Amino acid sequence: MAEWLAAQGHDVRVGAAPPYYPAWRVADAYRGRLYSREQRQGVAVWRAPLWVPQRAGGLARVLHLLSFAVTSAPLLLWWGLRWRPQVVMTVAPFFTAAPAALLAAKLAGARSWLHVQDFEIDVAFGMGLLKGGALKRAVSAVERFVFGRFDRVSSISQRMLERAASKGVPAERLVFFRNWVDVQAVQPMSTPSPYRAELGLAGDAVVVLFSGTLGSKQGLQIIPEVARLLADDPRIQFVVCGDGPMKPELLRQSQGLANVHFLPLQPVQRLGELLNLADIHLLPQDPAAEDLVLPSKLSGMLSSGRPVVATCAANTEMAKVVQGRGLVVAPGDSGAVAQAVAQLAQQPDGRVAMGQAARQFAVQGLGRDHVLQQCVEELSALVQDTARPARAA
């Protein structure tokens, strides 16, 4: 996004952590360094150090988030005083950096914008990473106070905007800001993906792909369970691509399963080839995170022109997006997921029809230029202090 805005002639600076995710280890090139600066496609990127725990449990995760809030605050405040931008935008996660962003905007006389990719506090309590009624009430009160101070609060689904409204954000400050995808970089290929040959997959293999961070929010333990249920059909092959804290457990659970293949995180330049490896995309989700998170990986799946099997409740935003472009099954039900995968594996024409609908949805509503141009219009309105209500999906 920052690079796209810079290419349109806007002056953009980014304050970020050093690369450490999904491996939960700071990249070697940044280890032992404090603050650093680099140029990326016309964007000045300043990186502030942070503490990265080996195991991201409840308290460790909180300290991890707070460490970045502390180290990034001087950078934000310095920009507020010296650079004086017109808009200060911050993204949650990390919500802990939001107070400093508000103060930087105040110092600069700028407008403030909070974009919510997921409600990390609600997710943390919902999944048991944080516990305690008193703690939840205290943290929620702080969250509500901070949310209410931003000039704009955006999120990636209508349900998440409703959640923001429940935290005290007036309707006129809410903005619907979809996850976008480069529909040119990720589009259906006319030839088989090179990954098929690289993995030694048979020409008639039906590939079920999960690609993304192997973290705890996704309910990924269902993948080896489904693979085990479908092990008697050698045509159906599962590919898990990515890294993250769940990978060792997934490898352990997949031992002895010849129909499960693992790939490490792949270069972004090969994203189109990777997503075209799939005949079916698999998108599991932990029910505790439903409507608190709308996985950004869904946009790429749809753009690739392949159907999606998603595990979510029927009344969620994710189900609304996937219906007609794949199949929706109850979360945690490996038998139902196996049945959905087997059904699509036996219906190549159905896969094509759903994939075409998915691609059409991506091109018409999720394209990078379309979504980011809407963002620029909202930024311009914000600078001119002309509020508008949240746009409909």
State mean pLDDT over 318-331: 94
CA 270 – CA 124 distance, rounded (Å): 33
CATH architecture for the domain at 2-180+367-383? 3-Layer(aba) Sandwich (3.40)
Can you state the angle between helices 348-365 and 334-345, rounded to 10 degrees? 100
pLDDT 10s digits, 239-281: 999 998 899 999 999 999 999 999 999 999 999 999 999 999 9
pTM of the model: 0.86
**For residue 21, is pLDDT > 90?**
no
**For residue 390, is pLDDT > 50?**
no
State mean pLDDT over 176-197: 95
Shared fold status for 2-180+367-383 and 194-365: yes
- Residue pair 243/212 in contact (Cβ under 8 Å)? The answer is no
Domain extents for the chain? 2-180+367-383, 194-365
Buried b (16+ CB within 10 A) or exposed e, 284-320: bbbebbbbbbbbbbbbbbbbbbbbbbbbbeeebbbbb
pLDDT 10s digits, 59-91: 888 899 999 999 999 999 999 999 999 999 999
- Cα 207 to Cα 212, 307, 326, 352, 374: the distances in Å are 16, 12, 15, 14, 36
pLDDT 10s digits, 148-158: 999 999 999 89
- Average pLDDT value for the chain: 92
CATH architecture for the domain at 194-365? 3-Layer(aba) Sandwich (3.40)
SS3 per residue for the chain: CHHHHHHCCCCCEEEECCCCCCCCCCCHHHCCCCCEEEEECCEEEEECCCCCCCCCCHHHHHHHHHHHHHHHHHHHHHHHHHHCCCEEEEEECCHHHHHHHHHHHHHHCCEEEEEECECHHHHHHHCCCCCCHHHHHHHHHHHHHHHCCCCEEEECCHHHHHHHHHCCCCHHHEEECCCCECCCCCCCCCCCCHHHHHCCCCCCCEEEEEECCCCHHHCCCHHHHHHHHCCCCCCEEEEEECCCCCHHHHHHHCCCCCCEEEECCCCHHHHHHHHCCCCEEEECCCHHHECCECCCHHHHHHHCCCCEEEECCCCCHHHHHHCCCEEEECCCCHHHHHHHHHHHHCCHHHHHHHHHHHHHHHHHHCEHHHHHHHHHHHHHHHHCCCCCCCCCC
| pLDDT score at 129 | 76
Can you state the angle between helices 98-108 and 133-147, rounded to 10 degrees? 20
CA 90 – CA 192 distance, rounded (Å): 40
Count Cα neighbours of 175 within 13 Å in the Cβ-side half-sphere: 27
**For residue 391, is pLDDT > 80?**
no
